[in-house]
Structure 1
Amino acid sequence: MSLLHRTSVFGAVVLTLCSASFCAQAQSGSNQLAQRPPMGWNSWNHFRNKVDDAVIRAQAEAMVSSGMRDAGYVYINIDDTWEASRDANGNIQTNSKFPDMKALADFVHSKGLKLGIYSSPGSQTCAKFEGSLGHEEQDAKTYAAWGIDYLKYDLCGLKEQMKAAASPEEAHKIMIDAYKKMDVALRNTGRPIVYSLCQYGQDAVWRWGTEVGGNLWRTTGDISDKYAKMAEIGFSQAGLARYAGPGHWNDPDMLEVGNGGMTTDEYRTHMSLWAILAAPLLAGNDLSSMTPETLALLTNKDVIAIDQDAAGKQGDRVSTEGPIEVWSRHLADGSQAVGIFNRHHTALTTTVDLRTLGFTGPVKARDLWKGELKNLNSSFQTTVPAHGVVFLKVSQ
């Protein structure tokens, strides 16, 4: 038996078939990695092309000394600009910023952390460094030999080939084949390497990401450290919950917490919404110089527990009233995480009716940012800060 997938590609409709057994395997996260949304750090948002060996070592040390590792953050991910050219045998080389990637991986591992790396299915990366096109097996073996634990695979370098395709269907096939090829190469190494698809949600990737081996896939364009962009990305995830689960997650991009472009309330919105979305939590600030306030935002154990909930059910929007949005996520213990978000630029008071979420009569609620326990009626009023959130864990 085959299952039919309907995917929109550049305005056309592409139908793809996969066997029932393969689809079932894909839906369960067939490499058995990322059973909960990955947590860690990525170099791009803060360091961009200034990342080097010393930066990575400093971030690893800070992740441990700050308590972030103990809070669940384990991946230290190197983004673009680490690559040099290839040697005479076609093996990828690191540039002068990373003199010994194996030694760096050993150092990161010695801290109880894992190391991630970046490449592209095209001939070049976004920053015009060496991509993996035609060298997928070689690169995967190199990553495994270095001790890499996570690969972010960015579509950038393949876009020209896709644009030159004779039809949208052919362009889609080029992309699918490229991501499948690296998945096979990674599996063939025998090393567990989390596979992160970075292709900006193109062609409704959430419908087929598991079929090409993805453990997570970007659902949007790039985030920036501005409330408007973060909100646009986060709130646009409504309706995608059914495509996520253990081993295969929707990824609305990395965290900007601590980079300075948003208020504390806006960063609380960022963390709360990502937790409801069961999103990967990949910090993007300088861990070696963050403030106590930033650390508290990133390591709030109650918020992290929502993101990492064992049921692995992504939450969704349940109601809107102008700039007020209520989102909910069902949790393994039978409770719900409820986020009341205010997208307006001034504080607003709103009435929340928990009966729409299935609650009847009085409820117990924990305010996850204030740490307060409350007894609430199923309908209650609350004031939400400008661009802020009231984030509750509610049980009957």
Structure 2
Amino acid sequence: MYVVFVVALTCLGVWVDAVNNGLARTPPMGWMSWQRYRCITDCVQQPDNCISESLFKRMADRLVSDGYKDVGYEYINIDDCWPLKDRDAEGKIVPDPTRFPSGMADLAKYMHSKGLKLGIYGDFGTLTCGGYPGSKFYMDVDAQTFADWGIDSLKLDGCYTNPDDYATGYPLMEFFLNKTGRPILYSCSWPAYVKDPDYKTIADNCNIWRNYGDIQDSWDSVKSIIGFYGDDTDNFTKFAGPGNFNDPDMIILGNFGLSYDQQRVQMAMWAVMASPLLMSNNLDDIRPETKDLLLNKNLIAINQDPLGIQGTRKSQTGNIEIWSRPLSPVGKFAIAILNLGEAGCAAIVNTTLSYIGLTNQGGYKVTEGFTGAVVGTFSLSDHFVSNVNPSGIQLYVASPN
């Protein structure tokens, strides 16, 4: 079967820049089921939490009624565990009829009627990570099925396959998605499964890509992701830009594991890192202060900046990190001062804009990143002092004078 797979791909020709589908010009925003709802399929015992059309319609309704759609959240993404365990007689994947009685095409129409988009989950391997049908040897069938349903986004995981096949299989799925004629945002888990990812090829074939382990509902998990992105070992930040973004995984604000300051950290850092903003939470039960963070237009403006340049870590001294991200118009920057420590008092961070890497000789007007309030005007050498709470952040925007 492996030989047939490779030969079939070779016959299809070259697909350079295959991901040029016009999508993800800024990081996609929306809601995804996995982190909060995992693979809950028992709708008798857990009717409000099971992976079902009811859950996705409910979250879609919340996106619209609670203002999330108005600020850019538009995708409702189904993750694993949605189909039956067996394909039908034609080899097509089948939504579980008990949990998705209306079918995926009707669910997509429901989303589209609200101005939203529907995303779905698949796997490059023979099975998904949860043990449901994978797309290997069925990629053309699945791509066309998803297009026929009106799907707008596909996350393709990488379980149950030979890692040597990723460099062939992930571009092949993009080929088949494009062949359908329907624009489908393509999220790849490819680099998360390989030791030395070829990010140039990945960016040529994927709109967004997971390159680290799944986020968990904890501060330790958020910290580990920030550390991985700060280290930037494979220089993957340089491949981010309109149409192509690194994906550090879902926004967990509104769940159980983060304090308010830690929620500020994740939201601000995902903005600075030009990351997809895909919430995974229960939108029926969100604290007001958390909702305010999720809807914060200043943070979203940083995240959605049209230059699409990913922010990078500029310095690391103990638990204190300083990050910056170039913004439009050229010469403007977001600056994050991060305290990853957990001591009982705020850290006083004394720096200069020159040390952070800013260069405008006329200095900068600095505003607070969450509120937009004016902080002051600073030359490159002026002391720039921040009080940063434990496991907290201060965020600024610096505009050249």
Give the TM interval when normalised to the shorter protein: 0.7 to 0.9
Pairs within 5 Å for 1:91-102: 91-95=92-96, 96-99=98-101, 100-102=103-105
Asked whether the equivalents of residues 362 and 375 of structure 1 are also in contact (C-alpha less than 8 Å), the reply is: no
Q: Which residue of 1 aligns with 2:54?
A: 54
| Number of residues of Structure 1 aligned to a counterpart in Structure 2 | 360
Aligned to 2:306: 310
1:98 maps to a residue whose letter is F
How far has the Cα of 1:260 moved from its partner?
1.8
State the one-letter code of the partner of 1:331: L
Alignment of 1:391 with 2:395, yes or no, is: yes
Match of 1:16 in 2: none
1:232 aligns with 2:224: yes
Residue 366 of structure 2 contacts residue 396 of structure 2 at CA under 8 Å; is this kept in 1? yes
Contact 2:121 2:155 in 1 (8 A): yes
Contact 1:206 1:217 in 2 (8 A): no
Query: Cα distance 1:376–1:320, how it changes in 2: closer, same or farther (>3 A)?
Result: farther
Shift of 1:205: 4.8
Residue in structure 1 matched with residue 201 of structure 2 by the alignment: 208
Quick one: distance in 2 between partners of 1:300 and 1:315? 19
1:341 is matched with: 338
Alignment identity in percent?
39
Aligned residue number for residue 18 of structure 1 = none
2:27 is matched with 37
Partners of 1:366 and 1:201 lie apart in 2 by: 40
Provide, for residues 188-223 of structure 1, a one-character-per-residue CA deviation record: whole Å limited to 9, x for no partner. Answer: 110000000023262325342123x20011121111
Match of 2:274 in 1: 278
Aligned partner of residue 108 in structure 1, secondary structure: helix
Matched ranges for 1:156-167 at <5 A? 156-158=159-161, 161-162=162-163
Q: Does 1:219 align with 2:220?
A: no
Could you say which residue in structure 1 is the equivalent of 2:248?
252
Q: Which amino acid aligns with 2:334?
A: A
Contact 2:298 2:371 in 1 (8 A): no
Give, as a single letter, the amino acid of the residue that structure 1 aligns with 2:336: G
Q: In 2, distance between residues paired with 1:22 and 1:105? A: 28
| SS of match in other structure, 1:310 | coil
Shift of 1:234: 1.9
Give yes or no for contact 1:119–1:125 (8 Å, CA) kept in 2.
Answer: yes
Q: Deviations over 1:246-296 (max 9, x none)?
A: 111111111111112111111111111111111111001111221211211
Unaligned runs of 5+ in 2: 1-13, 40-49
Between the aligned partners of 2:118 and 2:384, the Cα distance in structure 1 is: 46
The structural deviation recorded for 1:137 is: 0.7
Match of 1:126, SS? coil
Partner of 1:191: 182
Query: What is the DSSP-based 3-state SS (H/G/I as helix, E as strand, rest coil) of the residue aligned with 1:94?
Result: coil
Map of 2:351 onto structure 1: 352
Where 2:160 maps in the other structure, the secondary structure is helix
Whole-angstrom CA distance in 1 between matches of 2:283 and 2:332: 33
Counterpart of 2:384, as a letter, is: F
8 Å contact kept, 2:27–2:277:
yes
Q: Deviations over 1:312-331 (max 9, x none)?
A: 11110111221110000011
Amino acid in structure 1 at the alignment position of 2:32 = N
Distance 1:83 1:134 in 2: 17
Instruction: Quickly say closer, same or farther: Cα 1:205–1:218, change in 2 above 3 A.
Output: farther
After superposition, what is the alpha-carbon deviation per residue over 1:348-387, rounded to whole angstroms, capped at 9, x for unaligned? 1111210132244653111122442111434221110111
Task: Report the Cα offset of residue 236 of structure 1.
Answer: 1.4
CA RMSD of aligned residues (A): 1.6
Q: Which amino acid aligns with 2:38?
A: R
The residue number in structure 1 matching 2:112 is 109
- Cα distance 1:283–1:237, how it changes in 2: closer, same or farther (>3 A)? same
Provide the C-alpha distance between the structure 2 equivalents of 1:208 and 1:340, rounded to a whole number of angstroms: 33
> Is residue 205–residue 217 contact of structure 1 (8 Å, CA) maintained in 2?
no
| 1:193 aligned partner, one-letter code | I
Q: Residue in 1 aligned with 2:126?
A: 123
Shift of 1:67: 0.3
Q: In structure 2, what residue type is equivalent to 1:387?
A: S
Amino acid at match of 1:326: I
Secondary structure of 1:102 counterpart: helix
Equivalents in 1 of 2:127, 2:184: separation in Å? 22
Q: Which residue type is aligned with residue 222 of structure 1? A: D
TM-score when scaled to structure 1?
Answer: 0.88
One-letter code aligned to 1:342:
N
**Counterpart for residue 91 of structure 2:** 90
Answering whether residue 131 of structure 2 is matched by residue 138 of structure 1, we say: no
Greater alpha carbon shift after TM alignment, 215-224 vs 356-365 = 356-365
Q: Distance in 2 between matches of 1:207 and 1:268?
A: 32
> CA separation of 1:233/1:150 partners in 2, compared to 1, >3 Å: closer, same or farther?
same
